[in-house]
Amino acid sequence: MMRAWMLALAATTVMLGCDDEDSGSAAPPVEQGPTFHADIQPLIQAQCVSCHQAGGAAPFALETPEQVAAMAPAALASIEAGRMPPWQPDPDCRRFKRERLLTADQKALFKAWVEAGAPAGDPADAPIEQAQVADFPADIATAPLEPYVASTERPDDYRCFALDATFDADTFLAGAQVVPGDRAVVHHVLVYIVPPEKVAAMEAMDADEDGPGYTCYGGTGLGNTGPVVGWVPGMQPNYYEEGVARFVPAGSRMVMQVHYNTLAATPAPDLTTVQFKVYDAPQPYVIDTRPQAHLAIQIPAGEEKSEQVREFTHRGTEPFEIAGVAPHMHVLGQRIRVDLLRAEGDEECLIDIPGWDFNWQQSYEFQDPERIEIRPGDRFRLTCTYDNSAANQPV
């Protein structure tokens, strides 16, 4: 069995002219500029409404022409500044599956629409409604034993929950998805496999703290365990390739870390659920998440740009394949980049996030090729840049 790893429009023009022929002759058709129904609605549906919907994670909805028109100038400013749609990796380094990106033509189209006064146009001009994502055919659904209401003492509440599923036999996962309960305050979710030897420690941490779950930040408190699935607003169900599975050893459990943000909404009881699709038998490939961490960093006090670099060498005798990367830093992080250094001297960028945002961390799956072979002697170079200046200290 081979293993694959996840490293923890332009505006239209109108022609005008004078003609001394009979004024009753037919005039040429006039090209119409972009309208909401014909041009903008498909962009909003594809990139925005998964968050910007009633009861969603975003502070306002973008579901109607009136709602979009009211927010159009602010939306254009966010698009031009690169804040929306939220997507951290630099596409000049590498492309990934399920990207939240607008092309240059799409940005120009949106700008032309805003500058034209955000016209609604004719609903009949709307493209055929896009197919909705099919229901995830879950074989296992697991959740905490009881709902949790996020704390409002601070805007951000990080909570870990032991999930109720038990895995009595070796299990091979074919896909996974997270279904947030209170979408208005659930900001992101990470789900981890807890191997049998760590289950007792997880249960003890859960029991030691009053209320559902236990306080956690940056991890689960259980050491180096990579996430099996994650969620940020806008994410779709995650299916593995045919013949690829995530292995859950018999006796394991799972723990879920939820980041709640209560700035824009009053929290309600949340019961976020995790769903899994399961293979009936072992598969040729098993995918796993292997953390490669630089833990001995020294960031001088007050330093605005501290670059920390570490390399990790594949010292084994057999090649393996990686299917993606999952960068991770905390709130002082400003930029993170991972390069693959081949033993023969070639280099290639695996991911580059020039504007790191702790609140939008997720894993990224390669698009083309879908897997990259790592050979003995190859190295990963991890470069992390931090801002430890007085102005950048967390409150």
Of 231, 197, 249, nearest to 362 (Cα)?
231
Confidence band of 336 (pLDDT split at 50, 70, 90): very high
**Residue at 233 is within a domain:** yes
Q: Is the pLDDT assigned to residue 337 strictly greater than 80?
A: yes
For 258, other C-beta atoms within 10 Å of its C-beta total 28
Is the same domain home to 313 and 265? no
Predicted local confidence at residue 378, as pLDDT: 98
Is the same domain home to 169 and 280? yes
Predicted local confidence at residue 6, as pLDDT: 56
Is the same domain home to 216 and 335? no
Average pLDDT over residues 43-53: 87
**Residue at 372 is within a domain:** yes
Average pLDDT over residues 275-290: 93
Predicted local confidence at residue 183, as pLDDT: 87
Backbone Cα Rg of the chain: 24
Q: Is the pLDDT assigned to residue 14 strictly greater than 80?
A: no
- What is the enclosing helix (H) or strand (E) of 113? helix 104-115
**Residue at 322 is within a domain:** yes
Q: Quick one: residue 119, left, alpha or beta (phi over 0 = left, psi -120 to 50 = alpha)?
A: beta
**Domain boundary residue, one of 256, 289, 322:** 289
Confidence band of 224 (pLDDT split at 50, 70, 90): low
Provide the domain count of the chain: 2
Is the same domain home to 198 and 339? no
Q: Is the pLDDT assigned to residue 324 strictly greater than 70?
A: yes
Specify whether the CB–CB gap between 89 and 96 falls below 8 A. Answer: yes
Predicted local confidence at residue 134, as pLDDT: 53
Residues 70-86: pLDDT tens digits? 999 999 999 999 889 98
Predicted local confidence at residue 33, as pLDDT: 87
Predicted local confidence at residue 264, as pLDDT: 79
Give me the percent of the chain exceeding a pLDDT of 90.
64
Residues 251-270: pLDDT tens digits? 999 999 999 999 878 999 99
For 6, other C-beta atoms within 10 Å of its C-beta total 21
Is the same domain home to 280 and 323? no
Is the same domain home to 284 and 310? no
**Domain boundary residue, one of 227, 262, 289:** 289
Lowest mean per-residue pLDDT among 48-57, 84-93, 115-124, 305-314: 48-57
**Domain boundary residue, one of 289, 316, 341:** 289
Reduced to 3 states (helix: H, G, I; strand: E, B; else coil), residue 320 is strand
Predicted local confidence at residue 293, as pLDDT: 86
Is the same domain home to 252 and 283? yes
**Residue at 173 is within a domain:** yes
Is the same domain home to 310 and 273? no
pTM of the model: 0.77
**β-pair partners for 364:** 325
**Residue at 122 is within a domain:** no
**Residue at 274 is within a domain:** yes
Is the same domain home to 225 and 339? no
Domain that includes residue 327, residue range: 306-392
Residues 157-196: pLDDT tens digits? 999 999 999 999 999 999 999 999 998 899 889 999 999 9
Average pLDDT over residues 130-149: 82
Q: Is the pLDDT assigned to residue 22 strictly greater than 60?
A: no
Is the same domain home to 243 and 160? yes
Is 331 or 336 the better-scoring residue by pLDDT? Answer: 336
**Residue at 214 is within a domain:** yes
The CATH number for 318's domain is: 2.60.120.230
Confidence band of 130 (pLDDT split at 50, 70, 90): low
Average pLDDT over residues 25-53: 78
**Residue at 124 is within a domain:** no
Average pLDDT over residues 27-36: 67
Q: Is the pLDDT assigned to residue 7 strictly greater than 70?
A: no
In angstroms, the CA 230 to CA 324 distance is 13
**Highest mean pLDDT out of 8-17, 27-36, 215-224:** 215-224
The CATH number for 158's domain is: 2.60.120.310
Is the same domain home to 190 and 256? yes
Is the same domain home to 241 and 310? no
